[in-house]
Amino acid sequence: MVTPDNEKMEVVLTPKSYLVFLLILAGCGSAPKIESPPVTLADGERKFWLDRSGVLHGAEGLSSSQSQTIAGLLGGSPFPSPSYLKDILKDQFEAGDGEEIEPIEPVLIVETVNPPRFRWKPVQAAAAYEVVIRDHRNYVVRKSGKVEETEWTPTKPLMEGEVFSWRVVAGKRVSHWAKFAIPGSAAMAEIEAVRELLPPSHLLLAIAFARCGALAGAETELSKLDGELVARWRAQLK
């Protein structure tokens, strides 16, 4: 309909047409946000819950860094990668001379108990053993002296943040050199801080172990948790 320039056209909307008008306006807006489903994880006495908006619940008493790490994992981030120690320890043994004595522990691990306990298989007719420990430069840093048992624990801690190799000597018979490492002070402090949490958290302890390369410890803690997400994290540690 054409109207003169000096006249205004009045449009009257019925209730039905007004509703249609509002629906059209709503359709012109942005597409509705698709939210992710909530993710939950039972961790001993704790229960972590990442809601549809990505907000973590159940993290009372945790630091912001710990909360962010857990939120990231529940949101799909990969499990923390082990540090450089994993690559350093990739070779399990170094060749030794003479008849082999088999070391039991620590072998190819990051040892979080310092000083560690050294164990080996007995040798027939051996009157005594001696454990020799050397650092990554092949300098001997500790000797046990004569030991009649098949295990020995040093009286003092070993240097932190160091890779060691050790072997057992029984007369003319010696073992291969077996490698292990002691985490640095910062990594050890993180592990001890998590161990003191109340209620305890297997997930946070697994994260602390994995960050310093202590994969056996991380696997032990994750084995105490259930769920498809946990199975994925355990696979990432292998």
Per-residue model confidence as pLDDT tens for the chain (238 residues): 455 555 555 555 565 565 555 556 555 555 455 455 689 999 999 999 999 889 999 999 999 999 999 999 999 999 997 766 665 666 555 555 545 799 999 998 889 899 999 999 999 889 999 999 999 899 999 999 999 999 999 999 999 989 999 999 998 899 999 999 999 889 889 999 999 999 999 999 999 999 988 888 999 999 999 999 999 999 998 8
Assess contact for 213 and 181: CB atoms under 8 A. yes
CATH topology of domain 85-182: Immunoglobulin-like (2.60.40)
- In which element (H, E) is residue 140 found? strand 140-143
Domain ranges for the chain: 39-77+184-236, 85-182
Q: Rounded CA gap, 31 and 217, in Å?
A: 46
- Residue that has been written with the tokens 């043994």 in this structure: 93
Q: Is this model's pTM higher than 0.75 or not? A: no
Cross-strand bridge partners of residue 46 = 43
Q: What is the pLDDT of residue 135?
A: 93
